[in-house]
Amino acid sequence: MNFDLYATLQPMLGITLATALSLIIGLEREFYAKAAGMRTYTLVGMGAAVFTAVSKYGFQDVVINDFTRTDGSRVAAQVVTGIGFLGAGLIFVRKDSVRGLTTGAGIWFVSAVGMTAAAGLYLIACLITVLYLLVMVGLRPLTLRLPHSKATRRKMIVQYADGRGILRDVMETISGLGLKVVDLTVVGKKEEGDVTLQQINIEVEGPAGGLSDLTEQLHELSGVYSVDSAQSAAPDR
């Protein structure tokens, strides 16, 4: 049996590159403290690369002529289906708020990066990783400044652990998204186990892009127990 060093190293190079690029993409998600972060993205990209390498190189010993019925590409095709189920599991709908949609799309995308690298399209894999970072990081400030025709005011009910400075974190999160507080009412406290929960009714106003991210980011704050929101009509101007 002839040993082809290049044929052996090529899939290894593709998997290694896919792991590195997936790690870079995962760092962006980790920076924004998303539920699926660096390790999740790296594993998805690396796993997609492994399946693609198996699809492309794993059946060469049985492909003996042009009339073979073995189709290794079916393995790679199933990766797309499998990632669809994984991404759907990250999306949650709570009243009028959809959480995890961008994370689900990111999981789907990073699998494409892994498959591209494992297929030997190294430059394309690097290019689409750069494009991902440009879209996710570069467009974030732009979306907060774009005018939107839909409602730009939202009422929210937030419950958080009292006495831990959580309200300050809530206000900083709102400000960081380019939003402003129109009204804030302290409703009261209630005991839940060993924790005293403070409830506030808050109304915020600003770009729809910031409003769409607000519920998710408030949920991710340590000490925030619940966030319920109800869209209200835009005020007359």
Q: Determine the average pLDDT of the residues in 81-109.
A: 68
Question: Which pLDDT score, from 0 to 100, does residue 60 have?
Answer: 64
Q: Is 231 helix (H, G, I), strand (E, B) or coil?
A: strand
Domains of the chain, first to last: 5-145 (no CATH), 153-232 (3.30.70.260)
User: Of the given ranges (88-97, 131-140, 164-173, 197-206), which has the lowest mean pLDDT?
Assistant: 88-97
**In 3D, which of 131, 148, 149, 127 has the Cα closest to residue 139?**
131
Question: In the chain, pLDDT over 90 holds for what percent of residues?
Answer: 4
Q: Determine the average pLDDT of the residues in 126-141.
A: 84
Higher pLDDT, 65 or 91: 91
- Lookup result for tokens 């290019």: 127
Q: How confident is the model at residue 126 (pLDDT cuts 50, 70, 90)?
A: very high
**In 3D, which of 137, 207, 221, 216 has the Cα closest to residue 171?**
221
Question: Which pLDDT score, from 0 to 100, does residue 232 have?
Answer: 46
Helices (H) and strands (E) in the chain, counts: 8, 6
Question: In the chain, pLDDT over 70 holds for what percent of residues?
Answer: 73
Question: Which pLDDT score, from 0 to 100, does residue 47 have?
Answer: 87
Question: Which pLDDT score, from 0 to 100, does residue 193 have?
Answer: 77
Give the burial class of 71: count Cβ atoms within 10 A of its Cβ; 0-12 exposed, 13-18 middle, 19 or more buried: exposed
Q: Determine the average pLDDT of the residues in 79-91.
A: 71
Question: Which pLDDT score, from 0 to 100, does residue 143 have?
Answer: 63
Higher pLDDT, 117 or 138: 117
Question: Which pLDDT score, from 0 to 100, does residue 1 have?
Answer: 42
For residue 63, pLDDT beyond 70: no
For residue 23, pLDDT beyond 70: yes
Spatial contact of 35 and 90, defined as CB atoms under 8 Å apart: yes
